[in-house]
Structure 1
Amino acid sequence: MTISSVLVVGGTGSIGRAAVAVAHEAGLTPRALVRDVGRAQRMLPTGTDLVVGDLTRAETLTDAVRDVDAIIFTHGSNAGDHEGVDYGAVANTFHALGSRRPRIALMSSIYVTRQGQGYGPVIDWKRRAEWLVRSSGSPYTIVRPGWFDRVGPGDGRLTLEQGDTGDGGVGRDQLATVLVRALLTDTAIGKTFELFAHGGPAPSDWSALFAPLDADAGLDGVHDRTRVPMSAEPVRIQQDVEAVRAAVTHN
């Protein structure tokens, strides 16, 4: 699958802005989903296609997803509406896509499997968003970044782990680069991993970086130790997961 155009969801956020810039550098045509065109024009590189939409309303996302080859999700809720934004943006985007299945790179988070340890409801909604992506039939990569900016000037080496047991930091530009490179590298398809940065040189061979990872084989990340049965989830979640599956099955 050739990737040319990519939609960045959360395009004016710190990771989104970096992803748009990296996509430009990689020769892609980025489209940013934004709420305020004037603000976006001041923040994003000249030539970026700007499309207005509301992540919480699927009917406003039709123009944003039209004809794109790939989607990078970099969004997040600053107001605590984790169901409506962290999860809802993914559900609504798939609703707007109908049966189309572009390549996906989803920014999730470390700790999404650590319920009951004081991290609040955001991790539950991010994990549910992961379920939608894995259920969708899209070729995907799910990146669970470590703590933003907890890196030093020599921390260019990227460590990819699985199972959500690790901890550490990563730079925002490093995360954006991984999200874009995952779209362009076949060895990243179908994989979920945690991302950390350590002392050493930046990667030069992206295929080799992703290749050792194990591919997912179900609703959860391949090595996740904590698994939540779908039957224990709210009805809405069960219906959304079934809907993204059915959209492809019935095409």
Structure 2
Amino acid sequence: MTTLNILLVGGTGSIGRHVGRVAQAAGYSIRILSRHDGENVVVGDLADASTLTGAVRDVVIFTHGTHGGETGFRDVDYGGVRSVLEAIGDRPVRIALMTAIGVTYREGSNSRATVSHDWKRRSERLVRASGHPYTIVRPAWFDYNDDDQHELHFLQGDTRHAGSPADGAIARSQIAEVLVASLTSDAAKSKTFELNAEHGPAQSDLDPLFGELAADVELDGAKDAENMPVSAEPADVVADLERIRALRAE
């Protein structure tokens, strides 16, 4: 059995708690990043990369997020990923990042008001730029699935833009299972996909699903709309990408 030492960012959230359970059931060692000491906790501040240097060993899973308006999305959803990547440097670390279905859709009312999707998408780009092996999961609406709706479907292109459960549904527990399964799957490397469930039983082996996906190219997910060119990004965001890219060459 593969032994993994996992740092969980967002471990006290509704998805993170499931990730902890699934990872421990698989025999992995898991620590939760927190600003406060406690059991199975590593103390650190997402806003300060210098406090995270020793936090990551083999793997980091990101399930963190905020509802704090644009400042929160910039500083937490995006800034937290940036800080952890800076702390990792060029050490070999596997990454699983959770964002959201519809993350490339920029015309939704909530996205326009908070720019939430843009900041989440920028966090994805940082992970791709890092050069670390990764999987990016964009889950559909949490726990809106029916009792018999557990058959996993991995989609690409991020084409569902209703902004409601019409875009798809997925159990929180299954999101956790997919994130943890991706860590030891070669077929999941460099893949970005939307995750939802349809009527039917859950699959026990996810490798065939990972294997059917197209790998990402450069900074965006496979088949993503080309509607946020890097050349039009804020200067500090471009600088972050360049700095994260440079870390893998040091």
Task: Please say if 1:105 is aligned against 2:96.
Answer: yes
- Pick aligned residue for 1:70 from 33, 55, 59: 59
Worse-matched range after superposition: 175-184 or 112-121: 112-121
Residue in 1 that maps onto 2:83: 92
**Over aligned residue pairs, what C-alpha RMSD do you find?**
1.3
Structure 2 residue runs of 5 or longer lacking an equivalent are 161-166
Distance in 1 separating the partners of 2:125 and 2:142: 24
Distance apart, 1:3 and its partner CA = 5.3
Among residues 82, 91, 104, which one is paired with 2:73 in the alignment?
82
Q: Would the aligned equivalents of 1:163 and 1:223 in 2 still touch at CA under 8 Å? A: yes
Counterpart residue identity of residue 234, structure 2: P
Matches within 5 A, 1:76-225: 76-80=65-69, 81-120=72-111, 121-166=115-160, 167-225=167-225
Residue 160 of structure 1 and its aligned partner are, at CA, apart by 0.5
In 1, the alpha carbon distance for the partners of 2:147 and 2:36 equals 34
Q: State how far apart, in whole Å, the 2-side matches of 1:123 and 1:196 are.
A: 18
Partner Cα distance (1:146, 1:206) in 2: 18
Runs of 4+ in structure 1 displaced over 2 angstroms? Answer: 35-38
Separation in structure 2 between the aligned mates of residue 191 and residue 209 of structure 1, nearest angstrom: 11
The answer as to whether partners of 2:3 and 2:27 remain within 8 angstroms in 1 is no
Distance across 2 between alignment mates of 1:138 and 1:178: 19
Instruction: Tell me by how many angstroms 1:26 deviates.
Output: 1.1
Question: 1:221 deviation in Å?
Answer: 0.7
Any gaps of 5 or more consecutive residues in structure 1? Answer: 42-48
Q: Distance in 2 between matches of 1:195 and 1:3?
A: 26
- TM-score normalized by the length of structure 1: 0.91
Q: TM-score, normalised by structure 2?
A: 0.91
Report the Cα distance in structure 2 between the residues aligned to 1:79 and 1:216, rounded to whole angstroms: 30
Match of 1:44 in 2: none
User: 1:101: Cα distance to partner?
Assistant: 3.3
Q: How high is the sequence identity, in percent, across the aligned residues?
A: 50
Q: What's the offset of the Cα at 1:36?
A: 3.2
Q: Does the 8 Å CA contact 1:156/1:202 hold for their aligned counterparts?
A: yes
- Identify if the C-alpha distance between structure 1 residues 79 and 97 changes in structure 2 by more than 3 Å, giving closer, same or farther: same
Instruction: Point out the more displaced range, 76-85 or 88-97.
Output: 76-85
